[in-house]
Structure 1
Amino acid sequence: MTDVKDERAGDEQPKLKEYEGEGITVTFEPRRCLHAAECVRGLPQVFDLSRRPWILPDAAEPGQVEQVIRRCPSGALQYRHHPAEGPPEIPDAPTTVRRTPSGQLVLRGDLLVTGPYGDRHETRVTLCGCGASENQPYCDHSGPCAEPDDDVAEER
């Protein structure tokens, strides 16, 4: 695992952690994680919070890791295949936008998100709808949108 810079500039640049496997590399941006737990429920042998490092990409087939990461609603988890192993994450088409009962905006598709550190190309994000997030434009559950069951997998 390594810490790498993301494409944002500035003094308070978020950390992006990288977990390299043989066929797939998983990246994790802690500030964007909303603890939906899709990863730990989906592949506990890969994603285990009681272990360090908590992500072991080689503990499952790259295709399985990819499928579980695509369930992450916030986009805190991302992946990239090693060049010969497969394509980058393909955005959902058409792009979808859903408002949760507490106001978060859950988007999936080919997205360009503009924030204080510049533009980022995204495929999955949960954006703040209440204005209280300290990680704008992303939701960080610091305001009224901190309802625990807003992001139930069965409702997506």
Structure 2
Amino acid sequence: MSDRPGERAPTEEKPRLKEYEGEGITVTFEPRRCLHATECVRGLPEVFDLSRRPWVQPDAADPGLVAEVIRRCPSGALQYHPAEAGAEPPDSPTSVRRTPSGQLVLRGDLLVTGPHGERHETRVMLCGCGASANQPYCDHSGPCAEPDDDDADRR
């Protein structure tokens, strides 16, 4: 634990990535980065259904539609790899937005450095308060995590 009351100690656990392979698209999911914005389950419930296992079924919709819904994921917990292209293309130009409570939402061709080295990213939500146990990513554990920060209309 951390020395400060109410603050979680950072973990050194290596990020766990789950992969769901489909015919035209592969979906990856990093549970520790999920901020439960529900863009996926609201956008394509036939693909993303928390009540079944596996909860992601990439072939339940057109690969282009699956990619479109995944790109709504603000944290980057969900990503995709098209069968023909290899990797999710980054937004261009790169954009940075600070939420009203201080988190940084970045989209573009990103190189993020954390406890496990450098990672190429296309979408991230970075901690703005320093309380996240998943640094540099936000995990909604600190004061910079307000429920309305996940509102898609404000992005």
Task: State the TM-score, normalized to the length of structure 1.
Answer: 0.89
Aligned residue for 1:119, secondary structure, equals strand
Shift of 1:87: 5.2
Shift of 1:59: 0.3
**Aligned mates of 1:90, 1:124 — CA distance in 2:** 10
Structure 1 letter corresponding to 2:25 = I
**Aligned mates of 1:12, 1:139 — CA distance in 2:** 16
What's the counterpart of residue 97 of structure 1? 96
What's the counterpart of residue 26 of structure 2? 25
Shift of 1:86: 3.6
**Aligned mates of 1:91, 1:81 — CA distance in 2:** 13
**Aligned mates of 1:34, 1:145 — CA distance in 2:** 13
Count of residues in Structure 1 that have an aligned counterpart in Structure 2 = 145
What's the counterpart of residue 136 of structure 1? 135
Equivalent pair of 2:103/2:145 in contact (CA under 8 Å) = no
Give runs of aligned pairs for residues 3-152 of structure 1, distance below 5 A.
Answer: 12-82=13-83, 85-86=84-85, 88-152=87-151
Shift of 1:94: 1.1
The structure whose RCO (Cα within 8 Å, separation 6+) is larger is 2
Aligned residue for 1:58, secondary structure, equals helix
RMSD: 1.3
Give the fraction of aligned pairs with identical amino acids, expressed as a percent: 81
Equivalent pair of 1:100/1:151 in contact (CA under 8 Å) = no
Task: State the TM-score, normalized to the length of structure 2.
Answer: 0.90
Shift of 1:95: 0.7
What's the counterpart of residue 6 of structure 1? none
Following TM superposition, where does structure 1 have runs of at least 4 consecutive aligned residues deviating by more than 4 angstroms? none
**Aligned mates of 1:87, 1:133 — CA distance in 2:** 31
Structure 2 letter corresponding to 1:37 = T
Cα 1:131–1:94 change in 2 (3 A) is same
